[in-house]
Structure formats: structure tokens, C-alpha cells
Amino acid sequence: MSSHAVVIEGLRKKFPSPSGLGEFTVIDSLSLHVALGSFASIVGPSGCGKSTLLNIIAGIEPHEAGQVHIAAQDGANTAARIGYVFQSPRLLNWLTVEDNIKFALEAQGIGRAVWNERVKKYLDMVGLAGQDRNFPLNLSGGMQQRVAIARALAIEPDILLMDEPFSHLDEITARKMRVDLMRILERARPTILFVTHSLREAVFLSEEVYMMSVRPARIFKHLRVDIPRPREPEDPRLFDLEKALVKEFFAVLEQDYR
Amino acid sequence: MLPGLLTAIGFLVLWKAVSLVFLPTFLPSPVELLSNIAKIFSKPSAYLVVGKTLERVFIGLILSMLIGSSIGLVMGLRRSVGSFFDSWIMVLLTFPAISWAFLSVLWFGLSDVAPIFTVVLIVFPYVTMNVWEGTKALDKELTDMATVFRAKRFLLLRKVMIPQLMPYIFSSLRISFALSWKIALVSEAFGAGSGVGKELTYWFQSTRADMMLAWGASFMVLMVLIDIFLLRPWEKRVFSWRPLAIA
């Protein structure tokens, strides 16, 4: 394969319709190429099928037509490692923070010899050093989501999928988490596919932004965000970009909903 | 604390008063009951009798938990198995317990097998129903998470599913424990050559209600102690990760 981490061609996904009669197409002829090592965001309104798309890429949701290919960085023979940060932390509450990360390492078949080192490295990275023996339910929502991020990074994935990971947090925590995520990614650098409904979040975090329409979901615009990192959340260039994109979004959405 | 104490004292006084009307062998007073218990356990052979019954209760309980949980788990994970066993479990649950007690004596004679067999057949269907109910509450989001991280089946069971079933397994365990010892005693009364149940039959045939009460009460105390000092601390340890909702 080329220098793409994810290649999706002509993807189609149908769901049974809520009435029980027939089915409706959620995603239709969707194509997406995510460059190796880039931070790409998919932005679309709620319920447009963004999470479904990530689940198809992650292999937990079937699809009707099209191809999904994820490239492994170290040779094409090994299956790609996928890290996933969900909307909610989805931690195993009966395991300590440390054991939650080790669960992912064990699941991936990563040798026991490196477990402790990985746990320490990635807990440090997400700012949770010293919490390894704590149980998830003793942590705040933001801290739990940091554990989930550490778990996804610890397997050193070829691609990191993030599904609105900060949407359940209050805005102040979410803002801090975004800045921290940028800092973390200076040290760990997987390809990231980030799904959000917030254009502001997308332009602040990403190098590539894909905009998605509804019913059926398709990508109607792709743009690069050329503002160099580290970025300031209040950078006026980000606001200008966001404003322009919002305008464009509504133009397309109005057509979709008509 | 105080109302509880007053109730207890009131109960003892009432008991003593009623016991004055009857023969001590028909209804003993509290003090007589205690002295009977002391008399029973002054003989070393009494400990062997209790030990024998405990052994049967625990073997029956462990087998019931293992068989019951395994079937419940498989029923939950495979829909076809679930619908297949569903009616069979109901058949077992509705079959009269007393019939099992008699049948196992006819089939296995005077042996350890008869009471254990009876306990298992009566108790394991409850465990199965409970654990099966638990599998219906398994969190699909966690299973998806484990699948994305490529957890193999055994790891998924061990670290994701079974921990979610632990509340159901523990509630089954405590109910099964209470059920097991009662059933074991009944079964021993019918057809075992030894054990607390056999002592009860012996004193019944001698029309000595006082000795039956002494045996029954001491076994009950032992069971409550096992619950307080073994089962409850164990449960507390297993669920230490869970902050308490009620203080």
C-alpha cells in the first residue's frame, strides 16, 4: 500500500429501519484516505453515522459493500493494531488502572516483559503517574478518559480511533484534555482518526478535516489545516476557519434536510 | 440497638413462660436448650457427625455452583443452548424436592452420594437461572471494547464477562448455601447412616423435641457463623472496587 494508514473505498452501510420495514442506507459510497502519521478529523452532525464508520474500521460492525484497509506500520503481513478511545471510557471497573492497560496489552499479545514499562510510560504521558493501583470508579470522568487514552496508546497502535472522546466532559475539562492531547502526541505519534460534531475541536486538533453530510453519510469536503503546532485554542486563524466551515456546512445541510 | 435488645429479652421471657406449661422434653426452656447443646458437644463423636454433614453440604454446594454457573453462562452466550435448556431448568425447578430425596435413597442407598445428589439436583437450577439472568445484563459496550483490542475468548470471559456476573454468582452462592444445608439435613433424615439429619431422626423417633431443637439450633448457629465469617468477608473483598451506594 501507499503511505496511507487507512484507505476506504466505496463503503456502504445499511441499517434496518426503525419501523422494522426494509432498511435505510446510513453510509453510501464513502471514500476516505488518511495519510500515515496524520491527525484527521471527521466532522458531522449527531446521528450522521460517524461512530458507525469508526466501528466499521475497528471491525465491530459489518458493512455491505466497499473496502476498508488499515496498513500496519511494520510490514503488511501483521494485522494492524487498532487503538480505540470511545465516548465513554469503557474501563473494566473491577481492575486497577494498571490492570486495565495490561488487559489491552494481553489482548494484543504483547510480551509480558514490557508491560510494566508500557504502563508507566503511558500513565506518565497522560498525567496519571501514581494512579496505577487505583480503581477507575475512584477517578473523575476526565481521569477515567485519560486512562482510556493511555490504554489505547499503550498498545502502540498503527491507528488510533477517537469517537468524540471529550463530549461527555464539562467544557473546561474538555479544553484542558484537548491541549494535553496535543502535548501527548508530540511524544507518541500514531495516525489518528478523530470523530467529532464540533468544528472548533476539529480545526484546533487536526491537520486534515473531513466534513460529513447526513442521510446517507458521505464526505463533501476535505481541507488541510495549515496552522503550525503548537496551536493556541484562541488563535484567531482557527476562529476564521471555523466560521467559514460552519457557513459551508449549513449550505450543504440545508440541502440534505430539504 | 436498644429496641433489638428489648425484643430479644421479651422473646426469652415469653419462651421461658410457655416452657413452664410443657414437659422439658417437649419444649425446653432457654437454659435447658443451652445445657442440651453443651451435653451434645461434650462428646467427641458429635464433631464427627457435624463434620460429616458439613462435608456433604460443601461438596453439594460447590458442585451446584460449578454446574449451575457453567450452564447459566453457556445458556447466556449461545442463544440456541439458552432456549434448549430453558424448559428443562423449569422442569427441574418444579419437580418436588421431596421426590429427589426419596429417589436418591432408592438409587444410591445409604451413602454420601444420596444427600449430595439431592442437594445438587435441587440447588443448581436456581444458580443456573440466576447466572443466566446475569448474562442478559452483560454490557455490550465492554465486549465491543475487548473485541477491538482483540481479546481472545478466554480473556474476554475471565476479565470482562465473569466479573460482571459476580454479583449474580454471589447472590446465588448465599441463597444456595442456605438451601444446601436444609436439603442436606432432610436427605440425611431419610436415608443416610450418619450426619446431623440422622441424629434428628433418631431423637424424633424417641419423641425428644428438646434434643431435636438442640441439634437444629447448634447447626443453625454454625451456618450463620460461616455466612458471617466466610461468605460475607469474601464478598466484600471481591467487590472492593465498587464504591458503596448506600452507607
Domain with residue A224: its CATH number is: 3.40.50.300
Domain B26-238: give its CATH code. 1.10.3720.10
Task: Give chain A positions within 8 Å (CB) of B243.
Answer: 137-138
CA distance to B73, B76, B150, per residue, from B138 (Å): 11, 9, 18
Helix (H) or strand (E) holding A80: none
Question: Is the Cβ pair A93, B242 closer than 8 Å?
Answer: yes
pLDDT attached to residue B245: 64
Task: Give chain B positions within 8 Å (CB) of A136.
Answer: 241
When CB atoms are compared, the residue of B142, B144, B241 closest to A135 is B241
Kindly report, residue by residue over A197-255, the tens digit of the pLDDT: 999 899 999 999 999 887 778 888 888 988 888 788 888 898 888 888 888 888 877 77
Task: Give chain A positions within 8 Å (CB) of B150.
Answer: 107-109
Least CA distance to B144: which residue of chain A?
A60
Task: Give chain A positions within 8 Å (CB) of B151.
Answer: 103, 106-107
Q: Are B116 and B56 in contact (CB under 8 A)?
A: yes
Residue A172 or B146, more confident: B146
**Number of domains observed in the structure of chain A:** 1
Who contacts A95 (Cβ-Cβ below 8 Å, separation ≥6)?
Answer: A103, A135, A136, B159, B163, B241
Question: Is the Cβ pair A88, B141 closer than 8 Å?
Answer: yes
pLDDT attached to residue A66: 87
Q: How close A253 comes to chain B (CA, Å)? A: 31
Range of the domain at A50: 1-81+197-258
pLDDT attached to residue A1: 45
Residue A27 lies in a domain: yes
pLDDT tier at A118, thresholds 50, 70, 90: very high
Residue A8 lies in a domain: yes
Least CA distance to A79: which residue of chain B?
B150
Among B85, B51, B26, smallest CA distance to B196 is for B51
Residue A48 lies in a domain: yes
Residue A233 lies in a domain: yes
Who contacts B25 (Cβ-Cβ below 8 Å, separation ≥6)?
Answer: B207, B208, B209, B210
When CB atoms are compared, the residue of A55, A95, A107 closest to B149 is A107
Residue A68 lies in a domain: yes
Mean pLDDT of chain A: 87
Kindly report, residue by residue over A235-247, the tens digit of the pLDDT: 889 888 888 888 8
Question: What's the per-residue H, E or C state across chain B?
Answer: CHHHHHHHHHHHHHHHHHHHHCCCCCCCCHHHHHHHHHHHCCCCHHHHHHHHHHHHHHHHHHHHHHHHHHHHHHHHHCHHHHHHHHHHHHHHHHCCHHHHHHHHHHHHCCCCHHHHHHHHHHHHHHHHHHHHHHHHCCCHHHHHHHHHCCCCHHHHHHHHHHHHHHHHHHHHHHHHHHHHHHHHHHHHHHHCCCCHHHHHHHHHHCCCHHHHHHHHHHHHHHHHHHHHHHHHHHHHHHCCCCCCCCC
Average pLDDT over residues B102-129: 91
Residue A134 lies in a domain: no
Least CA distance to B139: which residue of chain A?
A90
Residue B247 clears pLDDT 80, i.e. is over it = no
Residue A155 lies in a domain: no
pLDDT attached to residue A89: 95
Residue B215 clears pLDDT 90, i.e. is over it = yes
Kindly report, residue by residue over A85-115, the tens digit of the pLDDT: 999 999 999 999 999 999 999 999 999 999 9
Q: Are A33 and A4 in contact (CB under 8 A)?
A: yes
Question: Is the Cβ pair A137, B243 closer than 8 Å?
Answer: yes
Who contacts A238 (Cβ-Cβ below 8 Å, separation ≥6)?
Answer: A200, A203, A204, A227, A231
Question: Is the Cβ pair A92, B150 closer than 8 Å?
Answer: no
Task: Give chain A positions within 8 Å (CB) of B240.
Answer: 135
| SS3 (DSSP) at A204 | helix
Residue A129 grid cell = 503517574
Task: Give chain B positions within 8 Å (CB) of A106.
Answer: 151, 155
User: What is the C-alpha to C-alpha distance for residues A182 and A179, in angstroms, rounded to an integer?
Assistant: 5
Q: Are A3 and A14 in contact (CB under 8 A)?
A: no
| SS3 (DSSP) at A218 | coil
Residue A67 clears pLDDT 90, i.e. is over it = no
Residue B239 clears pLDDT 70, i.e. is over it = yes
A37 phi-psi bin (left φ>0, alpha ψ -120 to 50, beta other): left
Residues 47-66 of A with CB under 8 A from B: 55, 58-60
Q: If interface means Cβ-Cβ distance under 8 Å, which residues of chain B face chain A?
A: 141-142, 144-152, 155, 159-160, 163, 166, 240-243
Q: Are A194 and A42 in contact (CB under 8 A)?
A: yes
pLDDT attached to residue A249: 81
Q: How close A144 comes to chain B (CA, Å)? A: 14
Residue B1 or A175, more confident: A175
